[in-house]
Structure 1
């Protein structure tokens, strides 16, 4: 069942989503070679709790940490651990917060130090695919229109692999609500979108094959061919004329740029 939100509820969700954005902005300013993914998770947990919220992912269906941190060929759901980030890595950081009774959810893939040009192109294409999907999050369109737009751009135009096993989702009082929001599919298919629908759109795009496998920890999903994968996600409210982004990358991109300039000597 799809739970539609009132204007007041959407504004509460905007606060949750923007706290996720602020959390990822803090990460963007701190990431550097030599930092472990567990240290990143500790930073995230502390920032969320200091701002009066609860990490949505902690203990969700038994998940042990406050964020999902996936490095290089890891697609999503990487469990923060002692792995130390290296120059040339890319790292997807997925964060959710629960604030004022509602969840916010967003993800961003960061470059650590000097990353290969072909990998930077994958990251840029994945972010662009996200916005292609967001353009279709309009009243009267169908979920398949979002899915088709992402797949058409990432797979047909750019030649990357679009992950099938993991999808975006509705969002609200629960972290995962109906409907599912795939990153592949047919235009004009799926549920029709109405005012008040809030969804997390999150393309997961692989440099090589779309095939993935679950790791031994039962959570981490990685590419079968061990090529890099990128992941970007926004919380979006469906509107007439233009989708309403409840989360924002603006502060993240600014902090990312400043941090990159600061760490050029690494």
Structure 2
């Protein structure tokens, strides 16, 4: 079953989304040469604690083996997703992806941002911009009466238009709400059979994940960190987005997505 939320439930998700937006703003502002990934994670912990929220990342997966030890996945360069924060200091030119979530009154939100430490190469900046633009084109394709495959197709088209990037296949966007990862999966490339209909009350985490090289990945011995098999750098952008009666509401952006969505912007009144 696909979880369809009430207006009140989406408002609770918005509260979680604003915690995520604040945490990501604080963590990305702290990214600098010499700062460790663990220090960045600590900033995310403080934001969650200050709002009386809970982390949906911390100890995730513990029932299956190794629980995730941070409140944020912080992935550097060839680390594409699920990087474990620790004592690694960032260096000039590093590409850093921060994936972060929060729970408020049992409702989840999840988002990710990628940036460069200091001055980045044109290639790295284009990579990051491509993932960000694919995110927004995917969001714009979320229309009641449409299908998840429309979102996947829009993301892939946006990426292919910008260059020859690897699109991760084992990792996708997802439904989100009373749990962090729910049906439906939202691939970042068009596939046959992804015909789940979109409707008011659905919420999706849209998250393009791309590399400068191959889409093939390897899991490290820590049982979490995913790196590119060919060593190429990656970028990851994500937002939690709800479909409301009046349009689209990006729950993990301070402005709800108003600046990017135009007439498609449709928040719920408080």
Report runs of 4+ in structure 1 exceeding 6 Å deviation. none
Are the equivalent residues in 1 in contact too, given 2:18–2:254 (CA < 8 A)? no
Counterpart secondary structure, 2:24: helix
Which residue of structure 2 lines up, in the alignment, with residue 177 of structure 1?
182
Are the equivalent residues in 1 in contact too, given 2:27–2:41 (CA < 8 A)? no
Q: Deviations over 1:152-186 (max 9, x none)?
A: 22135422111101011111111111111111114
Are the equivalent residues in 2 in contact too, given 1:139–1:194 (CA < 8 A)? yes
2:28 equivalent to 1:23: no
Are the equivalent residues in 2 in contact too, given 1:206–1:227 (CA < 8 A)? yes
Are the equivalent residues in 2 in contact too, given 1:167–1:180 (CA < 8 A)? yes
Paired with 1:107 and 1:149, the residues of 2 have a C-alpha distance of 19
Which residue of structure 2 lines up, in the alignment, with residue 135 of structure 1?
140
Q: Deviations over 1:80-108 (max 9, x none)?
A: 01110000001100001011220110000
2:8 equivalent to 1:8: yes
Are the equivalent residues in 1 in contact too, given 2:165–2:213 (CA < 8 A)? yes
* Structure 1 position 140, deviation (Å): 0.7
Paired with 2:254 and 2:90, the residues of 1 have a C-alpha distance of 22
Q: How does 1:1-266 map to 2 (within 5 A)?
A: 1-61=1-61, 62-186=67-191, 189-239=194-244, 242-248=247-253
Aligned residues: 251
Q: TM-score normalized by structure 2?
A: 0.89
Q: In 2 relative to 1, CA 102–177 (structure 1 residues): closer, same or farther, beyond 3 Å? A: same
Counterpart secondary structure, 2:27: helix
Paired with 2:88 and 2:28, the residues of 1 have a C-alpha distance of 18
Counterpart secondary structure, 1:200: strand
Extract unaligned runs of 5+ from structure 2: 62-66, 257-270
Higher relative contact order (CA 8 A, sep 6+): 1
Paired with 1:189 and 1:77, the residues of 2 have a C-alpha distance of 25
Which residue of structure 1 lines up, in the alignment, with residue 261 of structure 2?
none
